[in-house]
Structure 1
Amino acid sequence: MLPEMFPRAVRATGMAIVYSVGVAIFGGFAQAIATWLIKLTGDLHAPAWYVMVCVALSCLTLPFIRDLTGKPLED
């Protein structure tokens, strides 16, 4: 889906920035968020519940994604 978001002239740069920012934010803060969730709830499985909720929300968006299979990614 990422290539479809950007015009050809900036596609590689746009994809790299989106990926890098996502990894920095979600990967960098993952340990802090997991520790906070465990402390907040007292449940050692809280990070797993968090991931399951994120997966469920992601799955709910799938029907709204346009299928561009076989179509050229031109401007």
Structure 2
Amino acid sequence: MKDWNRHNAIADFVRTNRKASKMTQTELSDLTGVGLRFVRDLEQGKPNLMTDKVNQVLLFFGNTLTPTPISDETRRNLGA
């Protein structure tokens, strides 16, 4: 099994903002309506989470998932 990228942009964003708000993972879970396990998986960089639930958490911090253009070099590195 491939290791999760604990330091991906979304995991870092949620973890940093949760801690800056002085919240526990349990409190974030309760406030956003997602499960505690989901919050833990999200902060640990689990790669295959449901985007609607990710957005539920991001919306709490005033953000949302959006398509972002990538460079040609990044596209080549992805094999696209």
Instruction: Give TM-score, length-normalised by structure 2.
Output: 0.26
Q: Which structure shows the bigger proportion of residues in helix conformation? A: 1
Mark the structure with the bigger radius of gyration. Answer: 1
Higher relative contact order (CA 8 A, sep 6+): 1
